[in-house]
Structure 1
Amino acid sequence: MFETLSYEADGRIARITLNRPERLNAIDGRMPGEIREAVRRADADENVHVIVLAGAGDAFCAGYDLKAYAESDHDWNQDMPWDPTLDYRMMRANTDDFMSLWRCHKPVICKVHGYAVAGGSDIALCCDLVVMAEDARIGYPPARVWGCPTTAMWVYRLGAERAKRMLLTGDLIDGREAERLGLVLEAVPAAELDRRVESLAARIAGVPKSQLMMQKLTVNQAYDNMGLNSTQTLATLFDGITRHSPEGQWFKDYAAAHGFQEAIRLRDSGEPIPGEKPWPDER
């Protein structure tokens, strides 16, 4: 039984649907492991050829449930001095759970509507193919303060310069721009999203499982040869550091005192971050 998602298999197509619509499918402590278990179930089903991942309600996934994490005590926000190995173990487990979408032997199509932001973009970009609604939004705003995308899929999908453009600003882009940059396979009008994903899934489902597995493994091996695992190790470690840096501590304290939305407003305003310390003079 799943608490944060639903799973069903319909002939050759398995469907995993994130199902916390009241929180825009925000990631809680259970969701990463449940994604991995649902993927395992689909991968083990001899009838299934392709997996479709989607979100219930108004969005695909609005990222980690940071309102809960930022406004309360959690192992993500340890007292100083902090234990980076504890933080790494927690976040690496989540990264590996998300990467089950990438590592499984069957193709995964992600259907994005509404938002796929922060950790939600991590989940989407771990899928093999991403189809977005033209008006949907994707990005990693915590790159500004309190986050580093642990899956590191931005650089592997966009290349160095465009990945830096996204992560040095934390901007959100719509489906049209995501398609233009090559971040996603395609963007379609919202009214056509379901039809397009179903058509693509049906087309892939007509290919033998062994052929699908070999093609996916071949492409993934190229990414492994480029150092995907080591990049994710570094990114996951950095993610913990961002939450315990001076500005990360400021963000946590400010969110606890003034609310998460106010901390987000100040983070994204362009105003100087009160917790930021100047670098020492290196002259």
Structure 2
Amino acid sequence: MSDYTAFKVELTDHIAHVQINRPDKANAMNAPFWHEIMEIFEWADGTEDVRVVVLSGVGKHFSSGIDLMLLASVASELGKDVGRNARMLRRKILQMQASFSAVDQCSKPVLAAVQGYCIGGAIDLISACDMRYAADDALFSIREIDMGMAADVGTLQRLPRLIGDGIVRELAYTGRNVTAEEAQRIGLVNRTFADFPQLLEGVFAVARDIAAKSPVAINGTKRMISYMRDHSVNDGLEYVATWNAAMLQSPDLKLAVAAHMSKQKPVFDN
């Protein structure tokens, strides 16, 4: 693992804890954030000792979204040529999208633990995670509409697959705040906790449960669920049949069955 300016990364007992580490700026997403998060999740994806990722923010807030200084620096690059401006902006947007696609496409489950602000770009980020959990003080908002723009880094593409279409439209059109209680009610988060310490304790308990399972089985399960977002039921059935034709030959299956029959807890290789 490298040293990062926008993150802290720790690996313990197969769980990678990835923390956004700009608490003095409410964990706003500055320029280094975007290439570092891609590097971190490529590392997590390719490191066999990582079985689960917990994503959180240091301090009072998960993240207040894209750093306004970053937006200002992009605006300063605009010239008088509309065509060249459009090419430059499109390239930057695609690069930022790729950063969160690295989270979405990570073969390991990613659990987001949210406290305080989760605004704008932070909604794009948690939408790319497998599961989301919140402290009672969490506040969610698709804030881009109040900046005169459409969210463009994944919220409008991923969120409709997580919560109802009408709710997505209401939140995206109004930019209103959503409390942790409402977030759980609409299905944006799985569960809420009284405060941040209890949130981390609860999320790590889920992470440890996942990390104890066969990593081959977890990888296949995530792959199948993700595949079904863009394919028919018949496509998914065909895909899982082909996938498991190989994966059921893993020794993990025999190990799990033997452990179940002997009422022991299995221990799986990476």
Scaled by the length of structure 1, the TM-score of the pair is 0.75
Partner of 2:168: 163
Alpha-carbon separation, structure 2, partners of 1:76 and 1:147: 18
Deviations 1:121-178 (A, max 9, x none): 1111111000011220011112233332220222121132111010010011111100
Structure 2 residue identity aligned to 1:85: R
Shift of 1:47: 1.5
> For 1:1-283, what aligned pairs fall within 5 Å after superposition?
1-66=3-68, 68-69=69-70, 72-75=72-75, 78-82=78-82, 83-150=85-152, 151=154, 152=156, 153-190=158-195, 191-225=197-231
Partner of 2:258: none
Residue segments in structure 1 that go unaligned for 5+ positions in a row: 227-283
Structure 2 residue identity aligned to 1:221: Y
Structure 1 residue identity aligned to 2:32: R
Shift of 1:2: 1.0
Scaled by the length of structure 2, the TM-score of the pair is 0.78
Shift of 1:85: 2.2
The RMSD of aligned alpha carbons is: 1.7
Counterparts in 2 of 1:145 and 1:75: CA distance versus 1, 3 Å = closer
Cα pair 1:17 1:56 within 8 Å, conserved: yes
Alpha-carbon separation, structure 2, partners of 1:76 and 1:52: 35
Counterparts in 2 of 1:225 and 1:32: CA distance versus 1, 3 Å = farther
Alpha-carbon separation, structure 1, partners of 2:76 and 2:175: 21
Query: Identity percentage over the alignment?
Result: 25
Alpha-carbon separation, structure 2, partners of 1:76 and 1:100: 28
Counterparts in 2 of 1:6 and 1:221: CA distance versus 1, 3 Å = same
Cα pair 1:49 1:208 within 8 Å, conserved: no
Cα pair 1:116 1:137 within 8 Å, conserved: yes
Higher relative CO (Cα under 8 Å, sequence separation at least 6) belongs to: 1
Structure 2 residue identity aligned to 1:149: A
